[in-house]
Structure 1
Amino acid sequence: MARGRPYVGARGAWRCGVDATWSSLNTWAGALYYAAHRLTGNQPDFAKTVGRGSVWLTRGVVPKYATTIGPVKAGSSDRVDRHEEIHVFQARLFGPLYLPSVALNYVVATVLPYWLLFRGRSRRPITGVASYFEDGVYPNVWNELWAYRATARKRAPGP
Protein backbone atom coordinates (compact mmCIF):
# COMPACT_ATOMS: atom_id res chain seq x y z
CA MET A 1 0.00 0.00 0.00
CA ALA A 2 3.05 2.24 0.19
CA ARG A 3 2.52 3.12 -3.49
CA GLY A 4 -0.80 4.70 -2.57
CA ARG A 5 0.81 6.91 0.12
CA PRO A 6 -2.35 7.51 2.18
CA TYR A 7 -0.37 9.34 4.88
CA VAL A 8 1.32 12.49 3.56
CA GLY A 9 2.69 15.45 5.52
CA ALA A 10 2.03 16.45 9.13
CA ARG A 11 -1.67 15.65 8.94
CA GLY A 12 -0.83 12.25 7.49
CA ALA A 13 1.64 11.58 10.30
CA TRP A 14 -1.07 12.44 12.85
CA ARG A 15 -3.59 10.15 11.11
CA CYS A 16 -1.04 7.34 10.93
CA GLY A 17 -0.27 7.74 14.64
CA VAL A 18 -3.97 7.60 15.57
CA ASP A 19 -4.54 4.61 13.28
CA ALA A 20 -1.59 2.76 14.84
CA THR A 21 -2.59 3.46 18.45
CA TRP A 22 -6.08 4.58 19.58
CA SER A 23 -7.79 3.32 16.43
CA SER A 24 -5.67 0.19 15.95
CA LEU A 25 -8.68 -2.17 16.32
CA ASN A 26 -10.29 -0.40 13.35
CA THR A 27 -7.02 -0.38 11.43
CA TRP A 28 -6.56 -4.14 11.93
CA ALA A 29 -10.17 -4.81 10.92
CA GLY A 30 -9.60 -2.62 7.87
CA ALA A 31 -6.39 -4.52 7.05
CA LEU A 32 -8.26 -7.84 7.12
CA TYR A 33 -11.03 -6.29 5.02
CA TYR A 34 -8.41 -5.00 2.56
CA ALA A 35 -6.72 -8.43 2.37
CA ALA A 36 -10.04 -10.18 1.66
CA HIS A 37 -10.77 -7.70 -1.13
CA ARG A 38 -7.33 -8.12 -2.65
CA LEU A 39 -7.73 -11.92 -2.62
CA THR A 40 -10.90 -11.50 -4.68
CA GLY A 41 -9.11 -9.27 -7.18
CA ASN A 42 -10.33 -5.88 -5.99
CA GLN A 43 -7.78 -3.20 -6.86
CA PRO A 44 -6.81 -0.08 -4.92
CA ASP A 45 -7.13 3.24 -6.69
CA PHE A 46 -3.74 4.72 -5.87
CA ALA A 47 -4.52 8.14 -7.33
CA LYS A 48 -7.52 8.55 -5.02
CA THR A 49 -5.62 7.19 -2.00
CA VAL A 50 -2.69 9.65 -1.96
CA GLY A 51 -2.84 11.94 1.06
CA ARG A 52 -6.38 10.90 2.05
CA GLY A 53 -5.53 8.95 5.18
CA SER A 54 -7.64 6.14 3.80
CA VAL A 55 -7.38 3.45 1.14
CA TRP A 56 -9.80 3.49 -1.80
CA LEU A 57 -10.71 0.11 -3.34
CA THR A 58 -12.48 0.22 -6.68
CA ARG A 59 -15.27 -2.34 -6.09
CA GLY A 60 -17.67 -2.61 -3.18
CA VAL A 61 -19.08 -5.61 -1.38
CA VAL A 62 -22.70 -4.91 -2.29
CA PRO A 63 -23.63 -3.29 -5.62
CA LYS A 64 -24.74 0.35 -5.21
CA TYR A 65 -23.13 0.65 -1.76
CA ALA A 66 -19.74 1.63 -0.45
CA THR A 67 -18.51 -0.01 2.75
CA THR A 68 -15.84 1.41 5.02
CA ILE A 69 -14.02 -0.46 7.76
CA GLY A 70 -11.33 1.51 9.57
CA PRO A 71 -9.34 3.42 6.95
CA VAL A 72 -10.38 1.12 4.07
CA LYS A 73 -13.20 2.15 1.71
CA ALA A 74 -14.54 -0.37 -0.81
CA GLY A 75 -16.77 0.75 -3.64
CA SER A 76 -16.56 4.46 -2.90
CA SER A 77 -17.14 6.99 -5.64
CA ASP A 78 -16.71 10.74 -5.98
CA ARG A 79 -20.43 11.09 -5.19
CA VAL A 80 -20.27 9.32 -1.81
CA ASP A 81 -16.65 9.66 -0.73
CA ARG A 82 -17.29 12.51 1.73
CA HIS A 83 -19.82 10.25 3.46
CA GLU A 84 -17.31 7.38 3.64
CA GLU A 85 -14.60 9.71 4.97
CA ILE A 86 -16.94 10.54 7.88
CA HIS A 87 -16.84 6.83 8.79
CA VAL A 88 -13.03 6.90 8.70
CA PHE A 89 -13.14 9.95 11.01
CA GLN A 90 -15.64 8.24 13.35
CA ALA A 91 -13.35 5.22 13.64
CA ARG A 92 -10.42 7.47 14.57
CA LEU A 93 -12.49 9.51 17.03
CA PHE A 94 -14.05 6.59 18.91
CA GLY A 95 -11.13 4.20 18.50
CA PRO A 96 -11.75 0.77 20.04
CA LEU A 97 -15.37 1.68 20.85
CA TYR A 98 -16.35 2.36 17.24
CA LEU A 99 -16.86 -1.10 15.68
CA PRO A 100 -18.53 -2.62 18.77
CA SER A 101 -20.89 0.37 19.08
CA VAL A 102 -21.85 0.20 15.39
CA ALA A 103 -22.42 -3.57 15.62
CA LEU A 104 -24.50 -3.16 18.78
CA ASN A 105 -26.60 -0.43 17.17
CA TYR A 106 -27.28 -2.67 14.15
CA VAL A 107 -28.40 -5.48 16.47
CA VAL A 108 -30.64 -3.17 18.52
CA ALA A 109 -32.12 -1.50 15.41
CA THR A 110 -32.84 -4.94 13.95
CA VAL A 111 -34.37 -6.55 17.03
CA LEU A 112 -36.06 -3.44 18.47
CA PRO A 113 -36.99 -1.29 15.46
CA TYR A 114 -37.14 2.02 17.37
CA TRP A 115 -36.83 3.80 14.04
CA LEU A 116 -40.44 2.86 13.20
CA LEU A 117 -41.55 5.44 15.79
CA PHE A 118 -40.21 8.38 13.79
CA ARG A 119 -40.57 7.27 10.19
CA GLY A 120 -42.45 9.91 8.21
CA ARG A 121 -45.13 9.07 5.68
CA SER A 122 -42.83 10.26 2.90
CA ARG A 123 -40.25 7.58 3.70
CA ARG A 124 -39.95 4.42 1.67
CA PRO A 125 -42.35 1.73 2.88
CA ILE A 126 -41.03 -1.46 4.43
CA THR A 127 -42.11 -4.15 1.97
CA GLY A 128 -39.99 -7.12 2.98
CA VAL A 129 -36.78 -8.29 4.61
CA ALA A 130 -34.50 -6.44 2.18
CA SER A 131 -36.28 -3.10 2.61
CA TYR A 132 -36.41 -3.65 6.40
CA PHE A 133 -32.62 -3.49 6.43
CA GLU A 134 -32.01 -1.13 3.50
CA ASP A 135 -34.70 1.44 4.31
CA GLY A 136 -35.18 0.85 8.04
CA VAL A 137 -32.17 -0.42 9.94
CA TYR A 138 -29.28 0.91 7.82
CA PRO A 139 -30.25 4.61 7.62
CA ASN A 140 -31.09 4.74 11.34
CA VAL A 141 -27.90 3.51 12.99
CA TRP A 142 -25.95 6.29 14.68
CA ASN A 143 -22.90 6.32 12.40
CA GLU A 144 -25.02 6.51 9.23
CA LEU A 145 -27.28 9.23 10.63
CA TRP A 146 -24.18 11.26 11.47
CA ALA A 147 -22.51 10.68 8.09
CA TYR A 148 -25.63 11.57 6.09
CA ARG A 149 -26.23 14.72 8.15
CA ALA A 150 -22.59 15.80 8.07
CA THR A 151 -22.44 15.55 4.30
CA ALA A 152 -26.00 16.85 3.77
CA ARG A 153 -26.49 14.00 1.34
CA LYS A 154 -29.91 12.45 1.22
CA ARG A 155 -30.33 8.83 0.26
CA ALA A 156 -31.56 8.46 -3.32
CA PRO A 157 -35.26 7.66 -3.67
CA GLY A 158 -36.15 4.02 -4.12
CA PRO A 159 -37.27 2.42 -7.36
Structure 2
Amino acid sequence: MSHARSEYTDFQSLAPDAFSAVRALSAIAAKAGLDKQLLELIKIRASQINGCAFCLQYHILQAEALGLAEDKINLVAVWREAPQFSPRERAALAWTEALTVLPNGVSDEVFAQANAEFGEKELMYLTSAVAAINTWNRFGAAYRWTPPARQKASAAAS
Protein backbone atom coordinates (compact mmCIF):
# COMPACT_ATOMS: atom_id res chain seq x y z
CA MET A 1 0.00 0.00 0.00
CA SER A 2 1.37 3.39 -0.91
CA HIS A 3 1.25 6.37 1.38
CA ALA A 4 0.81 10.02 0.60
CA ARG A 5 4.08 11.90 0.23
CA SER A 6 2.20 15.17 0.35
CA GLU A 7 -1.43 16.20 -0.04
CA TYR A 8 -3.40 18.33 -2.46
CA THR A 9 -3.68 21.10 0.13
CA ASP A 10 0.12 21.14 0.47
CA PHE A 11 0.43 22.04 -3.21
CA GLN A 12 -1.95 24.92 -2.67
CA SER A 13 -0.09 26.22 0.39
CA LEU A 14 3.53 25.55 -0.67
CA ALA A 15 3.33 26.71 -4.29
CA PRO A 16 0.25 28.94 -4.56
CA ASP A 17 1.40 30.52 -7.83
CA ALA A 18 1.87 27.14 -9.52
CA PHE A 19 -1.40 25.91 -8.04
CA SER A 20 -3.25 28.96 -9.36
CA ALA A 21 -1.72 28.57 -12.82
CA VAL A 22 -2.73 24.91 -13.12
CA ARG A 23 -6.19 25.66 -11.76
CA ALA A 24 -6.61 28.51 -14.28
CA LEU A 25 -5.58 26.23 -17.16
CA SER A 26 -8.07 23.66 -15.91
CA ALA A 27 -10.95 26.12 -16.15
CA ILE A 28 -10.34 27.41 -19.67
CA ALA A 29 -12.06 24.68 -21.70
CA ALA A 30 -15.28 24.80 -19.67
CA LYS A 31 -15.32 28.61 -19.84
CA ALA A 32 -14.97 28.31 -23.61
CA GLY A 33 -18.17 26.27 -23.68
CA LEU A 34 -17.00 22.67 -23.97
CA ASP A 35 -19.47 20.27 -22.37
CA LYS A 36 -18.60 19.64 -18.72
CA GLN A 37 -19.61 15.98 -18.86
CA LEU A 38 -17.32 15.45 -21.85
CA LEU A 39 -14.49 17.17 -19.99
CA GLU A 40 -14.98 14.86 -17.01
CA LEU A 41 -14.78 11.83 -19.32
CA ILE A 42 -11.41 12.93 -20.67
CA LYS A 43 -10.14 13.73 -17.18
CA ILE A 44 -11.16 10.27 -15.98
CA ARG A 45 -9.46 8.61 -18.96
CA ALA A 46 -6.19 10.54 -18.60
CA SER A 47 -6.14 9.87 -14.86
CA GLN A 48 -6.61 6.13 -15.50
CA ILE A 49 -3.70 6.11 -17.94
CA ASN A 50 -1.47 8.13 -15.61
CA GLY A 51 -2.35 6.11 -12.50
CA CYS A 52 -3.45 9.13 -10.46
CA ALA A 53 -5.83 7.79 -7.80
CA PHE A 54 -6.66 11.26 -6.44
CA CYS A 55 -7.60 12.70 -9.84
CA LEU A 56 -9.46 9.57 -10.90
CA GLN A 57 -11.61 9.53 -7.77
CA TYR A 58 -12.14 13.29 -7.88
CA HIS A 59 -13.30 13.30 -11.51
CA ILE A 60 -15.53 10.25 -11.04
CA LEU A 61 -17.24 12.17 -8.23
CA GLN A 62 -17.48 15.29 -10.42
CA ALA A 63 -18.94 13.26 -13.28
CA GLU A 64 -21.53 11.76 -10.96
CA ALA A 65 -22.43 15.22 -9.63
CA LEU A 66 -22.93 16.43 -13.22
CA GLY A 67 -25.30 13.53 -13.90
CA LEU A 68 -23.02 11.66 -16.30
CA ALA A 69 -24.45 8.22 -17.01
CA GLU A 70 -23.03 5.59 -14.66
CA ASP A 71 -22.36 3.17 -17.51
CA LYS A 72 -20.15 5.75 -19.25
CA ILE A 73 -18.18 6.36 -16.07
CA ASN A 74 -17.77 2.62 -15.54
CA LEU A 75 -16.81 1.89 -19.15
CA VAL A 76 -14.55 4.83 -20.03
CA ALA A 77 -11.47 2.60 -19.65
CA VAL A 78 -12.81 0.42 -22.49
CA TRP A 79 -14.61 3.10 -24.48
CA ARG A 80 -13.64 1.57 -27.85
CA GLU A 81 -15.58 -1.59 -27.00
CA ALA A 82 -18.61 0.12 -25.43
CA PRO A 83 -21.51 1.40 -27.56
CA GLN A 84 -22.53 4.11 -25.04
CA PHE A 85 -20.10 6.72 -26.35
CA SER A 86 -21.02 9.19 -29.08
CA PRO A 87 -18.72 9.96 -32.03
CA ARG A 88 -17.81 13.27 -30.34
CA GLU A 89 -16.93 11.50 -27.07
CA ARG A 90 -14.93 8.88 -28.97
CA ALA A 91 -12.98 11.60 -30.77
CA ALA A 92 -12.27 13.36 -27.46
CA LEU A 93 -11.17 10.15 -25.77
CA ALA A 94 -8.90 9.18 -28.67
CA TRP A 95 -7.42 12.70 -28.63
CA THR A 96 -6.89 12.44 -24.87
CA GLU A 97 -5.11 9.11 -25.16
CA ALA A 98 -2.88 10.36 -27.99
CA LEU A 99 -1.86 13.46 -26.02
CA THR A 100 -1.43 11.57 -22.74
CA VAL A 101 0.80 8.86 -24.21
CA LEU A 102 2.96 11.08 -26.43
CA PRO A 103 5.60 8.51 -27.42
CA ASN A 104 2.88 7.09 -29.67
CA GLY A 105 2.37 10.52 -31.21
CA VAL A 106 -0.86 11.89 -32.60
CA SER A 107 -1.74 10.13 -35.81
CA ASP A 108 -3.27 11.91 -38.77
CA GLU A 109 -6.36 9.74 -38.30
CA VAL A 110 -6.86 10.75 -34.65
CA PHE A 111 -6.26 14.40 -35.54
CA ALA A 112 -8.74 14.28 -38.44
CA GLN A 113 -11.39 12.59 -36.28
CA ALA A 114 -10.96 15.10 -33.45
CA ASN A 115 -10.83 18.07 -35.80
CA ALA A 116 -13.99 16.91 -37.58
CA GLU A 117 -15.91 16.63 -34.28
CA PHE A 118 -14.55 19.76 -32.61
CA GLY A 119 -13.22 22.14 -35.25
CA GLU A 120 -10.06 24.21 -34.85
CA LYS A 121 -11.04 26.45 -31.93
CA GLU A 122 -12.80 23.81 -29.83
CA LEU A 123 -9.93 21.39 -30.42
CA MET A 124 -7.48 23.94 -29.03
CA TYR A 125 -9.61 24.19 -25.89
CA LEU A 126 -9.95 20.41 -25.66
CA THR A 127 -6.17 20.20 -25.93
CA SER A 128 -5.85 22.67 -23.05
CA ALA A 129 -8.14 20.47 -20.94
CA VAL A 130 -6.03 17.38 -21.69
CA ALA A 131 -2.85 19.32 -20.88
CA ALA A 132 -4.37 20.50 -17.59
CA ILE A 133 -5.45 17.06 -16.36
CA ASN A 134 -2.09 15.62 -17.31
CA THR A 135 -0.46 18.35 -15.21
CA TRP A 136 -2.71 17.58 -12.24
CA ASN A 137 -1.93 13.88 -12.70
CA ARG A 138 1.80 14.58 -12.49
CA PHE A 139 1.33 16.21 -9.09
CA GLY A 140 -1.23 13.74 -7.76
CA ALA A 141 0.71 10.64 -8.81
CA ALA A 142 4.12 11.98 -7.78
CA TYR A 143 2.93 12.94 -4.31
CA ARG A 144 0.39 10.12 -4.00
CA TRP A 145 -2.37 12.46 -2.91
CA THR A 146 -5.05 10.70 -0.92
CA PRO A 147 -8.19 10.25 -3.05
CA PRO A 148 -11.04 12.46 -1.86
CA ALA A 149 -14.01 11.09 0.04
CA ARG A 150 -17.37 11.45 -1.65
CA GLN A 151 -18.50 14.42 0.48
CA LYS A 152 -15.26 16.36 -0.08
CA ALA A 153 -15.11 16.30 -3.88
CA SER A 154 -16.34 19.84 -4.42
CA ALA A 155 -13.41 21.31 -2.46
CA ALA A 156 -10.68 19.58 -4.48
CA ALA A 157 -8.94 20.29 -7.79
CA SER A 158 -10.67 20.71 -11.10
Q: TM-score, normalised by structure 1?
A: 0.28
Higher share of residues assigned strand:
1
Q: TM-score, normalised by structure 2?
A: 0.28
Quick one: higher RCO (CA 8 Å, sep 6+), 1 or 2?
2
Higher share of residues assigned helix:
2
